[in-house]
Structure 1
Amino acid sequence: MERRGKALGYLRRVLVLAVLAFFAYTLVNKALDLTGFQLNIAKTGMFTGNLVVWVSYLALGLEGISIVLLLVKERWGVLFSLCMMLAFTAYIVVLQGLGRYEICGCGGILNGLPFAAHLAINLGLLAVLAFLLWGYGRGR
């Protein structure tokens, strides 16, 4: 039983590091191509003018907060990241429902993903974050 607990502890650590790496990767790529990121937001037609700029900075800020929280207050970071990913996933589902989803603009190798692939990645991240959050509730 103790062996299983150790294995779960290692798995949790690897998953948190993977989520951290993913968020850091997308944050850096969006920041390095901020104009492209803002253009992708503007293309949806959901936001215009200065709102595009504010939304882009909000998204970058949320990812940055997730990273910091995962590093210093892991449990809060997982909860915050789960909420953030729920919001991001709801956003792309709404875009798809309105016929405004074109391609993923999350940065790096994710850019250009069709909706199904983007949704699958988001759902995978949500599953990982839910698993991590569940582990905190079990006292691990």
Structure 2
Amino acid sequence: MADKLNKIAERLMESYFQSQVSGNAMQNRSIFNKKPGEIMVLHFISTNEKDDSPGLMVSEISEKLNVTSPTVTQHINSLEAQELVQRHADPADRRIVRIRLSDKGKAYIRLIHEARLAMFVGLVQHLGEEESLRFAETMKKASDYMLQQREKYIRSLSD
């Protein structure tokens, strides 16, 4: 029985990592002309900034993306130079710097979203509606499980 589970787990692991490679290809620098980290920061800002808020702090972005603040700052510097984000002083505390997408950044995120959506529409057409919904449910369950197991996995590597 353990042998059968191991074989299934190996196949699942192979499929999982193949999907990671495919997903990373979607963030390929040659396709979007940006570093994957820059796209990740842009996407995070776009989904987490509220219209009525002053923007996000680097520390908030870094904590949620699980990367260091200096790494986020490097991406923000590059994105600001490309006029995709803007830095603003917090109105309540001028020592705090807030980050918001510029209009150009919002347009860029829309372009990426439309390209990704078109690819996934193609996937739905390839798999069919029923299998796509089942796949989405299974991926969500798998993702939830992986997030729950993450700390245990990290601890096991440091033992």
* TM-score bin (small chain): 0.3 to 0.5
| TM-score, structure 1 normalization | 0.34
Q: Larger radius of gyration, structure 1 or 2?
A: 2
Question: Is the helix fraction higher in 1 or 2?
Answer: 1
* Bigger RCO (CA 8 Å, 6+ sep): 1
| TM-score, structure 2 normalization | 0.31
